[in-house]
């Protein structure tokens, strides 16, 4: 049994509904949801767009191997309207990224864990710190709260105060 931390993001369509539906599909096919952050609203990171992103971090327990879990989440993205874009960062209906898997370090062509940019992104660190502030990054040997304090990403990330469901 492994503990996975995932980040879901969306900036087109009915983002909150799509994210909630993907979490339901994760619960039905991938593993038990142990915890979920609030929704956070953020400006696009690394590209410009008028559409704000909705992000949420979740913690799950799953028996799946990392490569298999990645396949499942890619299929959930596609089933929910994800279109494969040429450019790396662009508007998207749903993106699901693996942030951490226990304290594993993975570097394969398909999978880099911990996610290689998580420490540079406020839209990841803020929701993650809400559910896993004490979690240690196995490469930097620092917890999420400490990475959040040191992060120099100045982009605006706001917690959505309305109920999640
Ligand atoms: P991005 O999330 O960078 O915007 P994509 O969602 O299109 O881009 O993912 C591109 C590829 O990144 C995926 O097909 C996957 O194989 C690879 N990848 C590497 N590490 C991870 C990770 N930690 N979580 C999710 N995908 C990853
Ligand atoms: Mg992705």
Q: What is the pLDDT of residues 74-90, one digit of tens each?
A: 999 999 988 876 566 77
Which two three-digit tokens encode residue 45?
């990171």
Over residues 116-134, the mean pLDDT reads 97
- 85 CB less than 6 Å from ligand 1? no
Index of the ligand 1 atom closest to the CA of residue 113? 23
Identify the bridge partners of residue 107 per DSSP, sorted by sequence position.
112
pTM: 0.94
User: Is 131 in a helix, a strand, or coil?
Assistant: helix
- 93 CB less than 6 Å from ligand 1? no
Report whether pLDDT(9) > 70: yes
- 111 CB less than 6 Å from ligand 1? yes
């Amino acid at each position: 049994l492994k503990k996975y931390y995932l980040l879901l993001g969306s900036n087109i369509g009915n983002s909150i509904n799509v994210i909630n539906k993907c979490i339901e599909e994760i619960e039905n096919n991938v593993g038990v949801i142990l915890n979920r952050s609030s929704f956070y609203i953020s400006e696009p990171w690394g590209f410009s767009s008028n559409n704000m992103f909705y992000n949420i971090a979740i913690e799950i327990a799953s028996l799946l191997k990392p490569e298999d879990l990645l396949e499942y989440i890619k299929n959930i993205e596609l089933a929910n309207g994800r279109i494969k874009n040429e450019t790396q960062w662009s508007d998207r209906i749903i993106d699901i990224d693996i942030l951490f898997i226990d304290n594993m370090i993975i570097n394969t062509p398909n999978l880099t864990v911990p996610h290689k940019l998580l420490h540079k992104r406020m839209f990841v660190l803020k929701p993650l710190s809400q559910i896993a502030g004490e979690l240690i990054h196995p490469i930097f040997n620092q917890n999420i709260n400490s990475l959040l304090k040191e992060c120099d990403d100045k982009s605006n990330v706001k917690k959505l105060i309305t109920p999640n469901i």
